[in-house]
Chain A
Amino acid sequence: MMSDIFTYIIGGKAGEGVKKAGEAAANLFSDMGRKTFKMDDYQSLIRGGHNFSAVSTSIDDIYSHYMKADLVVNLDDRSYNIHKDHVKKDGMMIYNSGNTEKGEGIGLPLDEVSGNYSKSDLIKGVTGIAVLSAVVGLEKDEIENLIEKEYSKGVEENLSFAKEIYDLAEEKIDKRFTLEEGNDKSPIFSGNEALSLGAASAGLDMYVGYPMTPASSILHFFASHKKDLQIMPIHPENEISVANIAVGATMPGARVMVGSSGGGLALMEETISLAGMTESPVLFVLASRPGPSTGVPTYTEQGDLNFALNQGHGEFPLVVASPGSMEEAFYLAGEMLDILWKYQTPGIFLTEKHLSESSMNIDVDPARVEWAEPKKFEGDGEYKRYEMKDDGVSPLKFPPSEDVIKWNSYESDEKGITTEDPEKITDMHDKRREKKENLILDIQARNTVNKFGDSGPVIFTYGSTTMSVREAVKAGKIEAKIVQPKYLKPFPFWELEDYMEENAIVIEQSSTGQFASLLREKCNIVPKTVIRKYDGRPFEPIKLAEKIKEAI
């Protein structure tokens, strides 16, 4: 059987190696030269509950997982009950006959087999790769390489278990899926990893973070690459410290990025304003999850758009942008770091759990990323930190220096000495406004809006939802023009003039339609339909395609 898009779902308890099983499958497909998208669905707990990983693969580019699978592997009965409707008509269902009664599909005695191994829970996840190997027709000896690569810890036990399961599956499965090999190999990265690599490509020196899902894996990434990338990873006592360490570090010239989710960014807001006033270029990553408050920590939502756009008390230039794919996360993080250093102001890289923690193949070139460099002081006269310049950008000088360099949270004179003088207050406001205008001109010259498709109705979307919309349009064979503003502040109205038609559709993951409101406010675009989803789960391409068709 040949399948254009092949989808594999593995589900089980936390602690049974489900996430790893998804990763191993994604790597297997990628090694075949195929394109892969992986989405991990997990709960806020350590052991038990229900986790699953959905991996879809195609020869062509693929921007989302699907929830109708060719192969579903369930490690426990809860998983079986949840996923029994997720099998395609001609798909295959594997369940654990050790704990699932009356299962439809093929039962394998996973409990019995795993009971003979030292890590009887964790090893169950290896079932995924063993069954998948059998189903896609890999030879038994090919498993050896796979296990060595993916399950190097306790490789002997893992291999022995995999072979046992492979033999049992071989006996019972009644069909095989043939996956065509592609010839275009590219690495798989999560959005968080991709944005980290992008910022690293722009010359990042330090990452500061306090754990909060779904941003924590950025901190983990930099901690694990401390030696090779030489980017200092710091995990301090709270988000307030995170943000202030970052601002402090920019003063001697370190390129710094920080990250958190909504609650953490709320704690950093005081410091975003400080960065605006001191003119400190810190890049803040906001990886959203459903709110308000603690909300639903391990799921996805776009409810923080207005929060991001309105960060910081007082008036200062703020840049907000959001990537529509893992690849774009790479380039955008680098581009933002560069822009922030050119204009010495804070910026927010807005994304969501669905992009942060899902993974897909990326094809990126670090050489295409600008190395973030500020305008430096090169004169031989007196150095003034906030010197008036036509473009509003005062040249930077870093300590150690014979010149005195004073950055100030108070309104100050050009030398950075606190002031309450009305003229100086006005001048400094004008300087920051001038800087903002030049920043907007700079951004206008860049690619700020992505457009996919040439005909059909206009669909506006942004952030991680872009991936769902692109895949839905493909899956539903829908003719549409997808318009995705990458920059949200300044909002690229200049690119949207051609799309102000009446039949537009807006698709976003917010219950109140914040993005639709933004389009109306900035461009007077009043959409015909706003397709919203706010159950914490990303859109599923086939279901979204149906909704788009209804709206058209």
Chain B
Amino acid sequence: MAEDLGTGAENTWCPGCGNFGILNTMKNVVEKLEEDGIGREKLLISAGIGCHAKIFDYLNLSGLYSIHGREIATIQGMKFANPDLKVIGFGGDGDAYGEGLSHLIFAAKRNADITMIVHNNSSYSLTTGQMSPTSEKGYKGPSTPEGSIEEPLNPLMLMLSSGASFVSRGYAGKIEHLTDLIVEAVEHEGFSLVDVLQPCVVFHDDQYQKYNEAVEILEEPAETRYEAMELTEETERLPIGVFYKEEKPVYHEEIYPDLNVVEDKMSKDERKKQIEKILEERT
């Protein structure tokens, strides 16, 4: 494990939190990416707001600590500006599947070349455990003392129907598997989603046990989007791995196939010439 990936910031997650699994996974991911020729200087991270987001302070990687749900848009901006960079967004279920849901759907739709890692614990934990978009019906939190009356979202189904080109699920309790999954997601050209089952030991104290019993590693992705959708409906066993993957044109390359507006920025003189041409054409 790359020791120098820590920042020295005090870790304030609860003892036993599923987020530790994701943090340790990320340190492995950076090492593996470096073995594959993707140096950490080329990685940019962002995070939303919530327990998950503290990973921004704990990982010694460059990036922008964003606001609730907007990290999905933040990393797209980074990528469009400089496509040489690899961008990874961390979000909670409240960020990615609630406040920032429209950004997630459209990032998938336009096949933005980004990776979103969703720390899905089915609870708004940092704000004292209110129900989240993926909380089960009947979930009791301070805003739903009699139990949630809403059905949970199926985020993977939503991503598949939004045209996502890489849809996967991992488990914070299976670090080796999660490491390979995130590496594959980052190396995928186009939009990739990794929904991570992240146990919350305070507001969902049965999650470790439940996931340990139910998760089952998928040997290979489904062949079609529809078969993948069926896999997302399974609740008895919880498949983890890549549900679906395909190659599609990438958003920024459709705008500029080989222009990086930051690295290959037009010179001041050339821009001036182009503007003078526009002025001339109107005269």
Residues of A whose CB lies within 8 Å of any CB of B are 30, 185-189, 197, 200-201, 203, 205-206, 208, 225-226, 228-234, 236-238, 240-241, 243-254, 256, 270-271, 274, 278, 364, 366-367, 371, 398-410, 412, 415-418
Contacts and interface: CB of A to CB of B under 8 A. Distances in A.
A278 B85 CA distance: 20
A249 B102 CA distance: 19
Interface in B227-283: 255-256, 259, 261-262, 265-266, 268, 271-272, 274-283
Contacts of B76: 236, 241, 245, 248
A240 B102 CA distance: 10
Contact of B73 (A240, A371, A402): A240
B65 A406 contact: yes
Contact of B74 (A187, A247, A398, A404): A247
A401 B62 contact: yes
10 contacts: A203-B265, A243-B73, A248-B75, A249-B80, A251-B81, A252-B82, A366-B275, A404-B62, A407-B64, A412-B65
Interface of B: 7, 9, 39, 41-42, 44, 46, 49, 54, 56-57, 60-67, 70, 73-78, 80-82, 84-85, 102-103, 105-106, 255-256, 259, 261-262, 265-266, 268, 271-272, 274-283
B262 A252 contact: yes
Nearest to A237: B106
Question: Could you say which of A189, A230, A274 has the most chain B C-beta atoms within 10 Å of its C-beta?
Answer: A230
Contacts of B63: 251, 405-407
Contact of B70 (A271, A401, A416): A271
Say what secondary structure dominates the interface of chain A. Answer: mixed
Question: Could you say which of A228, A231, A243 has the most chain B C-beta atoms within 10 Å of its C-beta?
Answer: A228
B62 A238 contact: no
Nearest to B58: A417
Contact of B80 (A232, A243, A247, A412): A232
A240 to B, nearest CB: 7
Given A228-B278, A270-B67, A248 B78 contact: yes
A231 to B, nearest CB: 7
A536 to B, nearest CB: 29
Contacts of A410: 65
Nearest to A205: B261
A399 B65 contact: no
A188 B57 CA distance: 52
Given A399-B44, A416-B65, 19 more contacts: A203-B265, A225-B278, A228-B278, A229-B266, A229-B274, A231-B261, A237-B102, A237-B103, A237-B105, A241-B102, A245-B74, A247-B74, A248-B77, A251-B63, A251-B64, A253-B262, A254-B82, A406-B64, A407-B65
Given A400-B41, A417-B57, A252 B81 contact: yes
Nearest to B261: A205
Contact of A371 (B54, B57, B61, B268): B268
